[in-house]
């Protein structure tokens, strides 16, 4: 369970607001609306889970926040408002719109790493294979903090200790390939947290790990969140991991949020047929031995040819002919904090 307790209304101050974010990829084959009008917010110290199948826009949302969307993708509309503590000593926050910053400029580079950090599924996308993990963690520390090399090394060893790395004084001089998958993941988390970011974006960080190592890494992230007080945006296709980590959940399908609620409501009172289908496809204790797991009918449609009306209608067992295949459903609040995009609740 995360720092704040599941299902609790969260009153902590805003950290990040994403408003009507649209990130499109302009390809010869057509335009892919990878993120198409997404709204959510993350509060200080909160864990927000983002769930959905591959290709639903989760990772592009994260790349948009960090301004690392690869070409030919770009943000075409929307705001990403970061509330930052004033550094001047006066209380309160300053708000900057990350969409307005130059992705390669000094200010965005200082946000990336120092205020918002990211861990990926595959640590080798973060680490260079030709430098030791210590050199790479130290480089991140020296870039964002005014410390010399000796101090940076001390801090890197501290971070490696914090993430449970055995013999950190020696491991700091290891190359990434000399570490196991789980240890590489710990080293990546150490690098991401070395500058104490206020938001950690975790994009499927445990997907490539065995279940025991996965459980250890999830526990580590929860402990570190409590110690450091950071918020986590946790991206995964795995609802089991969401149940472990998140207080609030957004479910994405083809670039849009289709349901949003606290984690208990998502698990015990899911509304959207897509969320219900995702839940039926996860293994549960108590399921009869011979009962088969259900898979979601069909596949995620071609991103160049998103179905008209509700984009989920070709796969939906509740689809209303003549309505769902023609009109886009509105995004409605069914009860406080529980929103759904479906004609059944309009």
Q: What residues make contact with ligand SF4 under the rule CB under 6 A?
A: 272-273, 310, 312-313, 316, 318-320, 324, 329, 342-344
- Whichever of 95 and 346 has its CB closer to ligand SF4, that residue is 346
- Whichever of 280 and 287 has its CB closer to ligand SF4, that residue is 280
- Minimum distance between the CB of residue 315 and ligand SF4, rounded to whole angstroms? 8
**How far apart, in Å, are the Cα atoms of 294 and each of 106, 264, 278?**
49, 21, 9
SS3 221: helix
Q: Which residues contact 258 (CB under 8 A, 6 or more apart)?
A: 251, 252, 272, 274, 275, 312, 340, 341, 342
Q: Are 260 and 338 in contact (CB under 8 A)?
A: yes
- Whichever of 197 and 273 has its CB closer to ligand SF4, that residue is 273
Rounded CA-CA distance 172/161 in Å is 10
Provide the 8-state DSSP code for 12.
Answer: S
Provide the 8-state DSSP code for 148.
Answer: -
- Minimum distance between the CB of residue 148 and ligand SF4, rounded to whole angstroms? 57
- Minimum distance between the CB of residue 320 and ligand SF4, rounded to whole angstroms? 6
- Whichever of 183 and 339 has its CB closer to ligand SF4, that residue is 339
- Tell the burial category of 314 from Cβ atoms under 10 Å away from its Cβ (0-12, 13-18, 19+): middle
- Minimum distance between the CB of residue 334 and ligand SF4, rounded to whole angstroms? 13
Dihedral pair phi/psi, residue 312, rounded to 5°: -90, -5
- Minimum distance between the CB of residue 295 and ligand SF4, rounded to whole angstroms? 17
Q: Are 157 and 198 in contact (CB under 8 A)?
A: no
- Whichever of 38 and 342 has its CB closer to ligand SF4, that residue is 342
- Whichever of 202 and 257 has its CB closer to ligand SF4, that residue is 257
- Report which of 300, 332, 293 is spatially closest to residue 34, judged by C-alpha positions: 300
- Minimum distance between the CB of residue 243 and ligand SF4, rounded to whole angstroms? 22
- Whichever of 284 and 318 has its CB closer to ligand SF4, that residue is 318
Rounded CA-CA distance 49/203 in Å is 10
- Minimum distance between the CB of residue 326 and ligand SF4, rounded to whole angstroms? 10
């Amino acid at each position: 369970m995360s720092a704040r307790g599941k299902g609790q209304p969260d009153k902590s101050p805003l950290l990040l607001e994403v408003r009507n974010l649209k990130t499109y990829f302009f390809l010869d084959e057509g335009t892919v609306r990878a993120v198409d009008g997404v709204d959510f917010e993350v509060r200080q110290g909160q864990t927000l889970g983002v769930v959905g199948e591959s290709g639903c826009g989760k990772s592009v949302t994260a790349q948009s926040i960090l301004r690392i969307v690869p070409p030919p993708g770009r943000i075409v509309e929307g705001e990403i408002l970061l509330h930052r503590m004033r550094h001047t000593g006066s209380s309160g926050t300053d708000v900057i719109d990350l969409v307005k910053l130059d992705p390669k400029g000094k200010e965005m580079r200082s946000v990336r790493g120092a205020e918002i950090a990211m861990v990926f599924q595959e640590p080798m996308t973060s680490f260079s294979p030709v430098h030791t993990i210590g050199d790479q963690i130290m480089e991140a520390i020296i870039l964002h903090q005014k410390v010399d090399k000796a101090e940076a090394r001390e801090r890197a060893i501290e971070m490696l200790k914090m993430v449970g790395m055995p013999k950190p004084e020696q491991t700091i001089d290891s190359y990434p390939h000399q570490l196991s998958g789980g240890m590489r993941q710990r080293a990546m988390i150490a690098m991401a947290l070395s500058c104490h970011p206020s938001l950690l974006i975790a994009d499927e960080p445990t997907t490539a790990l065995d279940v025991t190592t996965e459980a250890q890494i999830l526990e580590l992230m929860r402990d570190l969140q409590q110690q450091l007080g950071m918020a986590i945006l946790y991206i995964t296709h795995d609802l089991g991991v969401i149940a472990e980590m998140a207080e609030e959940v957004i479910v994405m399908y083809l670039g849009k949020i289709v349901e949003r609620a606290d984690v208990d409501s998502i698990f015990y009172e899911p509304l959207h047929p897509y969320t219900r289908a995702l839940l039926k496809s996860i293994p549960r204790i108590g399921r009869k031995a011979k009962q088969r797991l259900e898979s979601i009918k069909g596949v995620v449609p071609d991103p160049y040819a998103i179905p008209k009306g509700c984009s989920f209608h070709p796969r939906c067992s509740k689809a209303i002919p003549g309505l769902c295949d023609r009109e886009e459903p509105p995004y409605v609040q069914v009860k406080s904090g529980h929103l759904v995009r479906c004609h059944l609740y309009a």
